[in-house]
Amino acid sequence: MKTIYLKDHPKLVAAHEFVTSHPESIIAGGVARDVFLNREYKDVDIFMPEPLTRDASQSLHKLIRDMPSCEVHPCTYMEPGSRYIVGEIDICVLPRGRMLDLDSFLQSFDMVMSQAWLEPTADGFTVSVTKLFTEFNGRRLLGYYPSLANKSFEHVRRIQEKFDNYLAVALAEPKDGMLHDGAEYPL
C-alpha cells in the first residue's frame, strides 16, 4: 500500500472528485497497477454498480456533458454493462452483483496485474494491490485466467508488451466461482 497526492497526478483530479462523491464506485485495474509500479498511465478506469443512484446518474451525465467528447460502448471489461469513455476517464457501469465485495470484484479481472485499486483520501489516493499481485510482480509474472481473458487475448498481449520483461503465465481456472493461484509457475 502506498499513498499518492493529486498535485503529483493531475490526470486523477476529475476521477478523485467523482469517486469521492460516489463511494459505491471504485478506481481499479491498470491505472492503480501503473501508479503502484511508478509507471505512466493512459486512462482511469472507474467501476460503478447499476442501477445507478439518481445522484450518480446525474454526476455521470454532468461529467459527460462537461467533457469535450464522450464515446459510449458496451462494457468490454465484464459483460453485461455500459462503458463511457470521457477524455481520460473510462467509466464502466456493471451489474450490482458483480461489485458486492472488493475481493470478489478484483478476482473477476482477467489478469493478476489488474488486481489493484485506488481509495480516495482528502488530497489523493491510497494505492493497494492484492497479495497475489505482490507475489507475481515479485517474480516478474503476468498471470492471467484464460477463461476470463478478453476473447481475443488482446488485453493480455497489450499488457505483456508494456511489461516486456515479465513472463505471461496461464493460471488454473476458477474453482467454485473463486479464483486461486493453484497453478504452477516458475520461480
pTM of the model: 0.81
| pLDDT for the residue 145 | 86
| pLDDT for the residue 150 | 55
Q: Is 63 helix (H, G, I), strand (E, B) or coil?
A: helix
- Cell numbers that stand for 31 in this block: 491505472
| pLDDT for the residue 71 | 55
CA angle centred on 138, ends 186 and 120, rounded to 5°: 140
- Nearest Cα neighbor of 30 from 85, 124, 112 is 112
For 64, which DSSP code? H
| pLDDT for the residue 11 | 86
Domains in the chain: ranges and CATH: 2-130 (3.30.460.10)
Q: What is the pLDDT along the chain (187 residues), one digit of tens a residue?
A: 899 999 999 889 888 988 898 888 899 999 999 999 999 988 888 888 877 778 877 777 776 666 555 455 545 454 556 777 777 777 777 777 777 788 888 888 889 999 999 999 999 999 999 999 999 999 999 998 887 775 557 888 889 999 999 999 988 765 544 444 444 434 3
- Nearest Cα neighbor of 84 from 108, 59, 60, 118 is 60
CB atoms within 10 A of CB 170: 14
